A and B are shown apart, each in its own frame.
Chain A
Amino acid sequence: MTVDVRNDGVLVEGLSRRYGQIRALDGLNLNLERGITGLLGPNGAGKSTLMSVLATVNEPDTGQVSVFGLNPRNGGERVEIRRRLGYLPQELGYHRHFTVAAFLDYVAILKEIVGRRRRAEEVARVLALVGMERFGRRRIRGLSGGFRQRLAIAQALLGSPELLILDEPTAGLDTEQRLRFRELLSNLPGDPVIVLSTHQADDIAAICPRVVVMLDGQVRFAGTPAALAESAAGHVWTADQRNESAHLSWRDGDARWRHIGDHPPADHEAAKPTVEDGYLMLSQTKEA
């Protein structure tokens, strides 16, 4: 299905952003359709900068951004984008004296949900979504890291946003919580545009129909997780001994060496590449 992302998604063209001498985004082009798009990349690749630009927190030096056909440089359209936005920044700080409900109530007001009862309904709804129904009166400073991260996800879901920008939402979550998070994202109503930045390649493989790999402020890959994995085909092999010519080598669960490299030995035992392999191959190619 062909989608006109200018009106129904997010379109980024020639986006650049510098911080002093550091070029965080370098002429980046990207289309984001409805559904979940995973964003992979090493630290410093520009993922968080891209997300903050999409969230209208940061202004690009050059380039164009269109969110549902709206231009964030225009004051009125920027506010309209913010009305449709749910944003989880990478390092979300909390007013530690807040209770969970008070914090969500505060964010709900910022999202222009004014009536007290309407806010309570939204607070109750998002608390239920992240499994924290009984935490409303708990102080944030008394929560564990995992529950704080769930609270951070909950605030992003207030107002049922059409554009959900989640910067490393699974950081600090245990395995069960990550699985619940995947379930939550997969079942969100309204088919929102979701941009999910993570270092967990298995999260991408599990729930993202599309994946974007960013390196040095540019998009190096955009496609399906299967295509990313396939890009490493012929470059992943296993062996009993470590091969020095490989870019990366580590012992797998069977105590065999798994290698990623450009030139597998002639007698190599090819392995089925994963999304992580595809990503590692891309990043190693860039370093080489």
Chain B
Amino acid sequence: MTLSFSGATGPTAGASWHPSDDDLAGYANGAADGVAAWSVESHLGACASCRSAVSAQADGEQLARNRAVLLALVAIPDGGRLRRLVCRCGIPDHLLSLLTATSSLRRSWLLAVVGVLAVVTGEAVLVQHLWPGGGPPGMTWHPGAAELAPFLLVGPLLVLAGVAAAFMPAMDPSYRLAVAAPFSGLTLLLVRSVSALVAALLPVVCAAFVMPGPSWLPAAVLLPSLAVCALALAAVTTVGPVAAVVAAGALWVVPVVWLAAARSSLEVVQGHGQALCAVVFVAAVLVVFVRRDRLEMGWVQQ
């Protein structure tokens, strides 16, 4: 509804313009949108004739109710410009509201992720700068691989931690309300997990661009990250969330550490490693799909 201050209701002392009759009627019956209603609301304080006009159209109780709704509309956060932008891309507003309860989408969490990545990346850049020829003297050195090991270890784990925080009941203080609500538990879990996945993957991929590794590294961390997260989600349909996340994390840590010690950590994101991650990812997604009822029943059992 567009508010037009047409002056149709006539001049009054202290007010040089007035809401139209339609605006006043909309305010009185509660149909006016937030901006129009607030404009009328603020005008009424200074204009006796418009107050009379509104009073003629609705009783005091109705007006008090309208005002309470108006206050609630203002109090419910709209999420700012970023959220409005995402809404324009077709994401329903109410789904975005659900994300406000996701710990791993909070600024403090994302800053912590960026902090960890900065340390790991800085260490790798420093190593390459100090020993550009291939590592400290006396050490077995796999060119371009050893300095990548901490990043390859931590990157997917950070993504996993973000996704885990999005679905673990322990991270949602009001999760019992979510379980007892009619909103689909599976949808809630997926909306939160995918959002957390994207939010964590972005800094990891950005860090991969800065790392002194091969140029394909940013693309190479995507599939392992997805596979580890999907594995955790699949496992949570069978075991508790902590066990699921620990198991998925361990299945990433063990090969990375072993390859870093025995051969080259880079192998974990090369040919066979990527193929294995693809298989794990597809299998995990299938498990989540087949066992989706387990997630609908009580979201995730503690």
**A residues with CB within 8 A of B:** 52, 55-59, 75, 78-80, 82-83, 85, 87, 89, 92-103, 105-107, 109-112, 114, 116-117, 119-121, 123-125, 127-128, 133-134, 136-137, 155
Contact = CB atoms under 8 A, between A and B. Distances in A.
B68 interface: yes
A52 B74 CA distance: 34
Given A87-B176, A102-B77, 17 more contacts: A56-B179, A79-B182, A82-B180, A82-B181, A85-B180, A95-B172, A95-B173, A101-B76, A107-B181, A110-B182, A111-B183, A114-B94, A116-B76, A123-B72, A124-B68, A133-B71, A134-B71
Given A93-B173, A102-B100, A75 B296 contact: yes
A69 B153 CA distance: 53
- Interface centre among B71, B77, B298, by most A CB within 10 Å? B71
Interface string B255-276: 0000000000000000000000
Nearest to A87: B180
Contact of B97 (A59, A97, A105): A105
A92 B77 contact: no
Contacts of A85: 180
A87 B76 contact: no
B93 interface: yes
- What does DSSP make chain A's interface, helix, strand, loop or mixed? helix
Contact of B100 (A75, A89, A106): A106
B70 to A, nearest CB: 8
Interface residues of B, number: 35
A53 to B, nearest CB: 11
Contacts of B100: 95, 98, 102, 106
B282 interface: no
Contacts of A99: 75, 77
- Interface centre among A107, A109, A121, A127, by most B CB within 10 Å? A109
A114 B182 CA distance: 12
Contacts of A117: 69, 73
Interface string B92-134: 1110011011000010000000000000000000000000000
A101 B78 CA distance: 11
Nearest to B108: A97
B293 interface: yes
Nearest to B33: A117
A119 B174 contact: no
Interface of B: 65, 68-69, 71-77, 92-94, 97-98, 100-101, 106, 172-183, 188, 293, 296-298
B174 A92 contact: yes
B298 A59 contact: yes
Contacts of A95: 100-101, 172-174
14 contacts: A57-B179, A59-B297, A75-B293, A87-B176, A93-B174, A101-B75, A101-B77, A102-B77, A105-B97, A110-B188, A112-B183, A114-B94, A116-B94, A137-B74
A136 B298 contact: no
A190 to B, nearest CB: 18
B72 A120 contact: yes
Contacts of B177: 87, 89, 92, 107, 110, 155
Nearest to B297: A59
Given A101-B76, A116-B76, A123-B72, A109 B94 contact: yes
Given A97-B106, A128-B68, A102 B76 contact: yes
Nearest to A115: B94
The 4 closest A-B pairs by CB, nearest first: A93-B173, A136-B75, A101-B75, A110-B181
A103 B172 CA distance: 13
Contacts of A92: 173-174, 176-177
A124 B154 CA distance: 46
Contacts of B173: 92-96
Nearest to B96: A109
Contact of B182 (A83, A105, A123): A83
Given A97-B106, A111-B182, A155-B177, A124 B71 contact: yes
Contact of A57 (B72, B77, B106, B180): B180
A127 B101 CA distance: 21
Contacts of A155: 177
B292 to A, nearest CB: 10
A133 B188 CA distance: 29
Contacts of B68: 124-125, 127-128, 133
Given A79-B182, A95-B174, A128-B68, A109 B98 contact: yes
